[in-house]
Amino acid sequence: MNAKWTREAIEGLGPTTDVQTAADVLDCSDWTVYELIRRGEWTLTRVLRLGRKIKIPTHDLVTLLYPNTRTAEPPTGPADTTNAPKDAPHALQNGTAGPSLLRPAR
């Protein structure tokens, strides 16, 4: 990883970035990244194709480079209710909360 690309700098790019910037963050050639994407062999991040443009989610780059740190994006899986407070509604305590109590992550 290039020294100028701190976690904060990557997150400051916005929700997505272009292939050239992603390659710079990963300290590799943008040609290599384009070629791997074209062949379907790019597995490091998701690839968003918008017409002829290709975008890389910056959240994927942060997760790749900083795997043991918490990210700002909420989890997309089921809610963890194993440590629900005893005074929480019964549905939260047993993990059966419906859509009215727990809203899906966006």
- Each residue's pLDDT tens digit, 43-58: 999 999 999 999 999 9
Residue 19 lies in a domain: yes
Domain that holds residue 36: 7-65
Q: What percent of the chain stands above pLDDT 90?
A: 58
Domain-located, residue 13: yes
Would residue 27 count as lying in a domain? yes
31: left (phi over 0), alpha (psi -120 to 50) or beta: alpha
Whether residue 100 lies inside any domain: the answer is no
Which CATH number is 14's domain given?
A: 1.10.10
Choice between 95 and 20, residue whose per-residue pLDDT is larger:
20
- Residue 16 resides in a domain: yes
> What total number of domains does the chain contain?
1
- The pLDDT of residue 73 is 58
- What residues contact residue 55 under an 8 Å CB cut-off, 6+ apart? 16, 17, 18, 47, 48, 49
CA–CA dist 11, 104 (Å, integer): 23
Q: What is the mean pLDDT of the chain?
A: 78
For 58-80, write each residue's pLDDT tens digit.
999 999 999 887 655 554 555 55
